[in-house]
Amino acid sequence: MNHVRNGGDLVVESLTALGADCVFGLPGQHALGLFDALRRSPLRYVGLRVENNAGFAADGYARTAETVAPLFLSTGPGALTSLAALQEAAAASVPVLAVSSQIPSAGLGGRRRGYLHELTDQQASFRDIVKSVHTARTASQIPSALAAAWQSALTVPYGPVWVEIPQDVLLAPTTVPPVTGLRAEPRPLDPRPELIAEAALLLAQAERPVILAGGGVVRSGATAELLLLAELLRAPVASTYGAKGAFPWEHPLSLQSWLEDRHTTDLLEDADVLLVVGSGLGELSSNYHTFAPRGRLIQIEADLGKLESNHPAFGIHADARLSLAALYNSIPARQPDGRAEEAAAGLLKRIRARLDEQDLEPERELLAALRRALPDDSPVFFDMTILGYWAWSAFDARRPNTMHSAQGAGGLGYGFPAALGAAVAAPDRPVLAVSGDGGAVYSIAELATAAQLGLNVTWLIVDDGGYGILREYMTDTFGGATATELTRPDFVRLAESFGVPATLTSPPDLEHDLAAALATPGPSVVVLPALLRMFAPTHLDEARGSGL
C-alpha cells in the first residue's frame, strides 16, 4: 500500500536532520505512529524490554557518544515507567530526548474522555524531573518542538527533555514538506571577564590552592584544561565520583577520589583558596555535608541552581572548559617547590594506612583485578552495589568518560541497560556492567535485548544473597537487617537460557574469567559469589563529634 506521510514521519525526519542516528524505546498503542515511521527512516531502533531500562540505555548511549539520545515512549504507564531513568539523567546532566505519545487531542486539557492510558496532566509527572517540556499539538509544530528540545538538552548544563505529541497528530496525514533544514545550535556559556580576572587574582595569590574537579569537567571536555591549570598553579586535584578520569590518577598532584575519607576533607578545608569546578558540592562530594571550608571558595558551575547552593563562594556561572582555559591564560606560572606534591603523596599514604587497619584486602584486590582485566578505553557502568561504591573512591578510570554509575539519583538497575546503550555507541570496544544480585534482577529481561542485538557487553554480577549495602547499613545502625535477604535465580543458567554464555567465577579466577569474557564478541555474563564489605566511613564520626 502507498504510504501517506504523517506526524510520525515528521518526528523521524526532524531527529535525523538534527543529527540523531539511533532511537531507544518500547512501542505502545498510542505511539505506533512513531514506531511505524522508523521503517522509513535511516534511524537505527534499539528496543528494550522495559521502559525504564530503555531510558537507562539512552543515558548510557548519550554519555558514551557525547550527544543527544532520543527515547520513544508510549502514553501513561509506558511514559511513567521511564521516570527513574530520567531522574538519573537529570541528576547526572545527561542529554536524553524523550518523545512520548499522548492521548488523542480531544482528551487533552483534563477533559477526562476515558481514553486508554489517560492522565489528567501527563506533563506534570515529568516537569519536576526533566530540564524542559515541549508539546506539538499540530504537525507543523513537530519540527520546531524537537529542535527546541534538542537545543535545550545540549545547552549547558545538559539534561533530559520531554516532548509530547498526541496520537491523532502522529497518525494524521500531513502536507508539511519533508524536514531537511532543521538546526539546533546551543549557545556557549562563557564566563564573564571580570569574574575570571578576580578568580585569577585569588588563585595567583594563594599559598595553598587546591582544585576539586566535578562531573562538569568531564561533560564539558575540560580534562586538558584542568591538567594545564593544576600544573600552572602547582595545585593538588581531587576528583568527585562523577569526574572519574578527569585528572590522571597517578599524577604527582592527584588526590584521587577519596571523598568519603576525613583526610581528604581536611586537606580540602585547609586550602586557602579552593577552586571547585563543575560540582555543586552535594552530599557525596562533601563527605555527607561534613565539609566546612576555612579558606576562600571559588565555584565554577554551569547549573545556576547549584551555584553556591551549599556554601558561600565566589561564584562563576559558566562552562567548565571555557572557564579553565580563561583562568590558565590569566595566571602567571608559579615555581614548583614540591609542597603540593608532598601534600598529595602524604594524603594518599594516610588513606592507605587507614584502609590497611580494616582488613579489606579481598575487596581491594577484587577491584584491582577488575581494573587489570578491563581495557583502558572500555566503558564500565556500575550499578548501586558495594563493588560500585568501592569504585567511586578507589577505581582508576584511566580515561575520561569511561566510568559511570547511578550515583546521581541512586536508583537500582542502572548498570546493565546503560552498558547496552554504550555498546550501541561504541561497538568497537567491549563494555562492562557491574551489578549486585539485587540490582541485576531489575534488568534481567534485557539479556534478551543483548542477545537479540548481539551487543558487546560483559555483565559481572556479584551475588551476595541480597541487598548487600542495605544489609550493612542496617546492621551497623540497628544491630540487624530487615528485608534485605533475597531468593535469587541461578544466574548462569538463566543467562544461558537467553543464549548468552555465562561463567561462574571466584575471587582468584575473576581477572582471568573477566578478561576472557571481555575479549569474546557479543554478550556474556560472569557471576561472582562474594560477600563484600565497605570501608569504614568517617562522616559518622564527624557528625557525632558535632552533636548531629
pLDDT of 30 over the 90 cut: no
Residues 40, 52: Cα–Cα separation, whole Å: 26
Q: What's the whole-model pTM score?
A: 0.95
> What residues contact residue 312 under an 8 Å CB cut-off, 6+ apart?
297
More confident residue, 373 or 122: 373
**What is the percentage of the chain residues whose pLDDT exceeds 90?**
86
- What is the structure's pLDDT at 118? 66
- Tell me how many degrees the CA angle 68-74-76 measures, rounded to the nearest 5: 120
Residues 147, 59: Cα–Cα separation, whole Å: 19
- What is the structure's pLDDT at 545? 44
Closest CA to 465 of 532, 524, 518: 532
Q: How confident is the model at residue 476 (pLDDT cuts 50, 70, 90)?
A: confident
- What is the structure's pLDDT at 407? 87
HEC-encoded secondary structure of 69-94: EEEEECCCHHHHCCHHHHHHHHHCCC
pLDDT of 2 over the 80 cut: no
* DSSP symbol at 105: G
- Span 419-434, mean pLDDT? 98
pLDDT of 241 over the 90 cut: yes
pLDDT of 398 over the 70 cut: yes
State how beta strands 69-73 and 22-25 pair: parallel
pLDDT of 115 over the 70 cut: no
pLDDT of 486 over the 80 cut: yes
Residues 257, 240: Cα–Cα separation, whole Å: 6
CB atoms inside a 10 Å sphere around CB 2? 3
**What is the percentage of the chain residues whose pLDDT exceeds 70?**
95
pLDDT of 544 over the 50 cut: no
C-alpha cell at 172: 494524521
Query: What's the mean per-residue pLDDT of the chain?
Result: 93
Residues 251, 247: Cα–Cα separation, whole Å: 8
Each residue of 250-301: pLDDT tens digit?
999 999 999 999 999 999 999 999 999 999 999 989 999 999 999 999 999 9
**Could you tell me where the beta strands, DSSP code E, fall in 420-492?**
431-436, 457-463
Cα radius of gyration rounded to whole Å, the chain: 24
pLDDT of 223 over the 60 cut: yes
Residues 309, 301: Cα–Cα separation, whole Å: 11
Q: How far is CA 169 from the centre of its chain?
A: 33
Residue pair 404/418 in contact (Cβ under 8 Å)? The answer is yes
Each residue of 414-423: pLDDT tens digit?
999 999 999 9
Length of the chain: 548
pLDDT of 1 over the 70 cut: no
Q: How confident is the model at residue 548 (pLDDT cuts 50, 70, 90)?
A: very low
- What is the structure's pLDDT at 351? 95
- Span 538-546, mean pLDDT? 53
The one-letter amino acid code at 445 reads A
Query: Strands across the sheet with 502-504, in order?
Result: 403-405, 380-382, 431-436, 457-463, 524-529, 502-504
- Span 165-180, mean pLDDT? 93
Each residue of 37-80: pLDDT tens digit?
999 999 999 999 999 999 999 999 999 999 999 999 999 889 99
Taking each helix axis from N to C end, the angle separating 83-91 and 51-65, rounded to the nearest 10 degrees, works out to 30
Residues 24, 52: Cα–Cα separation, whole Å: 11
Residues 450, 382: Cα–Cα separation, whole Å: 17
Residue pair 83/126 in contact (Cβ under 8 Å)? The answer is yes
Closest CA to 85 of 443, 383, 411: 411
Residues 519, 499: Cα–Cα separation, whole Å: 18
Residue pair 52/81 in contact (Cβ under 8 Å)? The answer is yes
- What is the structure's pLDDT at 543? 45
More confident residue, 495 or 115: 495
- Tell me how many degrees the CA angle 88-90-94 measures, rounded to the nearest 5: 90
Residues 307, 315: Cα–Cα separation, whole Å: 6
